[in-house]
DNA sequence: CGATTCCTTGAAGGTTGTCAACGTTGGTGG
DNA sequence: CCACCAACGTTGACAACCTTCAAGGAATCG
């Protein structure tokens, strides 16, 4: 049914939508924020959509006082606020992790009507939301089924892949502006244990994180850690039928 | 800036979009699936969007053989496949947890063009994607910062809230068609430990899960478990400045 | 040079996973 | 109808992983 032509047409339409969205803020002055500032607070209504031109940011949720979970990390080129525009009060906040330059895509909720009137823009926005969802799904799977070293490895590789895709990452080395406390809040661990995992990575010559700069030594082993390494030997289950093995969640 | 008028207009537009989307499948015959069938497989391309009329389903990711993480659970009234339409090969699969009735919203990728041409439909689809993202964010926060009983409590309350919103849940009692193994895969635990938590809930007269039927006895305590209960006494941190306490992720 | 934040490390303890076994249930075929 | 089998629930003992707590060091900033 779906011929390659449709893929091409969809891709072209998405690119057009991105261009149209970008024209919205090319005449507006960008905003700059210092490290640690809140972008989408509970006070100001959340009807703002930002384009993150430079710097990192994170979206987090406060459970009780002094206990926060980082839900997502935004890198340069990401769009912030798409998931929160629809609701009057955001349940999460967005904070800059570094100095940050943002462009305002829309400022008030009624601008959504203009935005979604254009088909290519609407397609592009849905595409952005879908991509974000996919990223979060990977994160959920990693957090819920990998141990600490697997989670750290997944995070390091995810940042690396996203940076490589958009910016020019020369080699296996990039700037990672998260404190270990923030990494812990992102991965569902404690800062102490993140530190231990990083130390083991350093000792095993897999990767090292010094002064907020990550260097990957052994990409292959890092990738293996990020996948599920709980299966080291497969000798015992050799006589299982393939059906029970493949869909073991049921039947 | 954003007056109440815009909220009203947005709400009206969203309702219109939902109606328009529903008309797409009101003339198509629904599909029925048995329990444990795959809906969005890797073999058939993922260009399908379903509306889940009846039954439960789940989206899961396979790490290695026999190790699966359930990323999301779909309830009647949910739309399935919105996050995966854009990509040629889906990284996750969707499986029915019960017998299921689904309506086909779109069958092939090029139908997206029609869909997004209409502004109200485009708005509604973006709203659906945003709602899904919010739900996942809550899930991430719960998994990464709550212990086992907190996660189970969060899940039970989430299902209860979603069912109450759409269907007619008489009281604090609903059908929960997940096996304990699946609950574990959803919450990042093991089946054995889920069992222990459920037993403690039963013994403490908080809630009970028997024959896939959940009964909530003590809604208040369940809610307290779902929030962060790591703060039992707040006597020690009394002299902290409020600033360091509120934004402890930084500064 | 305090003061603060962040990194680092060790010891102790708790929560959770692993493994094994058994009981129950429901479905299937003899 | 019964026997068998598979899937699910249940439980206990033990180990592993991770957290908690505490303390100290390094770096940055006023």
The CA-based dihedral angle spanning residues A149, A151, A153, A157, taken in that order and rounded to the nearest 10 degrees: 180
Q: Has residue B250 got a pLDDT over 70?
A: no
Q: Which nucleotide minimizes the distance between its C1' and the CA of B243?
A: C4
Mean pLDDT on B92-112: 89
Verify if strand C has an atom below 7 Å from the CB of A195.
Answer: yes
CA gap B93, B109 in Å, rounded: 18
Q: Reduced to 3 states, what is the DSSP secondary structure of residue B231?
A: coil
Tell me the pLDDT tens digit for each residue of B21-52: 999 887 788 999 999 999 876 455 667 899 99
CA gap A233, A218 in Å, rounded: 22
Q: Has residue B235 got a pLDDT over 60?
A: no
Per-residue confidence (pLDDT) for residue A98, from 0 to 100: 96
Verify if strand C has an atom below 7 Å from the CB of A192.
Answer: yes
Which has more pLDDT, B205 or A230? B205
Q: What distance separates the 2 farthest-apart alpha carbons in chain A?
A: 66
Beta strands (DSSP E) in A28-142 are 31-33, 38-40, 49-54, 57-64, 67-74, 79-80, 93-96, 100-106
pLDDT band at A249, cuts 50/70/90?
low
CA gap A233, B12 in Å, rounded: 58
Q: Has residue B172 got a pLDDT over 50?
A: yes
Chain B residue closest in CA terms to A150: B63
Tell me the pLDDT tens digit for each residue of A176-186: 999 999 999 99
Pick from B184, B173, B185: which is nearest to B212 by CA?
Answer: B173
Asked whether B84 and B78 are in contact (CB, 8 A), the reply is no
Q: Which nucleotide minimizes the distance between its C1' and the CA of B147?
A: C15
**Adjacency order of strands within the sheet including A57-64:** A38-40, A93-96, A57-64, A67-74
CA gap B131, A78 in Å, rounded: 19
CA distances to A142, A149, A199, B21, B65 from B62, rounded to whole Å, are 11, 19, 29, 32, 7
Q: Does A235 touch chain B (CB under 8 A)?
A: no
pLDDT band at A240, cuts 50/70/90?
very low
pLDDT band at A225, cuts 50/70/90?
very high
Verify if strand D has an atom below 7 Å from the CB of B181.
Answer: yes
Give A182's contacts in chain B (Cβ within 8 Å).
249-250
Of A17-21, A73-77, A213-217, B244-248, the poorest mean pLDDT is in: B244-248
pLDDT band at B140, cuts 50/70/90?
very high
């Amino acid at each position: 049914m779906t011929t390659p032509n449709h893929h091409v047409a969809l891709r072209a339409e998405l690119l057009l939508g991105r261009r149209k969205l970008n024209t919205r803020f090319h005449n507006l002055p960008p905003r700059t924020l210092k490290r640690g500032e809140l972008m989408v607070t509970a006070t100001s209504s959340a009807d703002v959509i930002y384009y993150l031109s430079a710097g990192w940011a994170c979206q987090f949720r406060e459970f009780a006082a002094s206990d926060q979970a980082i839900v997502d990390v935004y890198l340069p080129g990401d769009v912030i606020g798409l998931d929160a525009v629809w609701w009057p009060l955001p349940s999460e906040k967005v904070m800059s992790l570094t100095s940050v330059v943002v462009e305002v895509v829309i400022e008030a909720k009624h601008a959504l009507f203009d935005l979604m009137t254009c088909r290519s823009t609407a397609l592009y926005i849905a595409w952005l939301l879908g991509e974000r969802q996919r990223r979060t799904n990977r994160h959920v799977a990693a957090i819920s089924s990998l141990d600490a070293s697997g989670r750290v490895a997944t995070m390091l590789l995810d940042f690396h892949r996203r940076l490589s895709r958009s910016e020019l990452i020369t080699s296996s080395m990039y700037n990672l502006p998260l404190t270990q406390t923030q990494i812990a809040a992102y991965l569902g661990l404690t800062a102490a244990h993140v530190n231990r995992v990083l130390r083991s990575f350093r000792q095993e010559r897999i990767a090292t994180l010094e002064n907020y700069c990550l260097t990957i030594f052994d990409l292959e082993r890092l990738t293996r850690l990020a996948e599920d390494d709980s299966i080291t030997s497969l000798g015992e289950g050799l006589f299982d039928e393939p059906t029970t093995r493949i869909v073991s969640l049921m039947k």
